[in-house]
Chains A and B, each alone.
Chain A
Amino acid sequence: MEMVMFAVAAIIALASAVMVITVKSPIASVLYLILSIMAQSVLYVMLAGLFLAAFLILIYGGAILVLFLFVVMLLNIRYADMGSDSLGKLKPIAWTFAVVLLGEMVWVGTGVQAHFRGVDETFGSVPEVAALLYGKFVYPFELTSILLLAAIIGAVVMARKGL
């Protein structure tokens, strides 16, 4: 049962990721990415990461990718192919190395032979994550907030007219 669930979610995630690259319309790309994110969140749930699953959908799918969508809409981007492709000659190299990378990582992956052991019910729940965030990882947490502040300011400045 679990295996089936995994297979479905995995296939959807992978396929939509591939579609992100291959479709012509940018809006379609974004939508496919959102689909992929949702499939991945299923996988997160299977891995007892409930908080993260919710987080993924809410923040990633709901905020970041919607942002992408807005940008695509506002800029009215169409699929347009013009001029010469800069990567023309290097395409074979790019593909080869990508495949090699895949091979390397798969090879490592198959070396990890393990099964999951049991965990408590509270594993991956919100209180647990909160305890860590505000306990052990309070410094990174606070610093991240400053990072986000910087990002906000940067984004506002960059996007202003008449810079």
Chain B
Amino acid sequence: MAVPLEYYIILSAFLFVVGVVGVMISRNMIVMFMCIEIMLNAANLAMVAFSRHLQNMDGHVFVFLVMAVAAGEAAVGLAIIIAVFRNRESVDSDFLNLMKW
């Protein structure tokens, strides 16, 4: 029996919300970052599903580019975390509060 489209969409929704909750909840910056990657992936899944539904390959290309950007973003983000770690000796995001009022 074929899987209808909405199952994929709902799954993607769940994954996304897991990512959102993870960003809000976790204190560890690395975990926070990974949850952002989860969110990106959820979106990718939805896009591929729709692309299959619309029988248009443009979705795949889009996913490809998203992943490329995600890679770049991961690299830079981790570099920042390393730089912060050097100063603060910790990756707790609650320590980064210099920008408060």
Contact = CB atoms under 8 A, between A and B. Distances in A.
Contact of B79 (A6, A10, A137, A154): A154
Q: Give chain A's interface secondary structure class.
A: helix
Interface residues of B, number: 73
Interface of B: 1-22, 24-28, 30-31, 33-35, 37-38, 41, 44-45, 48-49, 51-53, 55, 57-58, 60-61, 63-65, 67-76, 78-83, 85-86, 90-92, 94, 97
The 8 closest A-B pairs by CB, nearest first: A151-B72, A158-B79, A105-B13, A109-B9, A155-B79, A21-B22, A159-B79, A155-B75
A87 B21 CA distance: 12
Interface residues of A, number: 92
B53 A116 contact: yes
Given A2-B3, A109-B13, A82 B75 contact: no
A112 B21 contact: no
B31 A105 contact: no
B97 A40 contact: no
B4 to A, nearest CB: 6
Contacts of A55: 64, 67
Given A98-B17, A114-B6, 18 more contacts: A2-B2, A10-B11, A20-B22, A21-B26, A21-B31, A37-B41, A64-B74, A68-B30, A71-B30, A71-B81, A84-B94, A105-B10, A112-B5, A114-B4, A148-B72, A152-B72, A154-B79, A158-B82
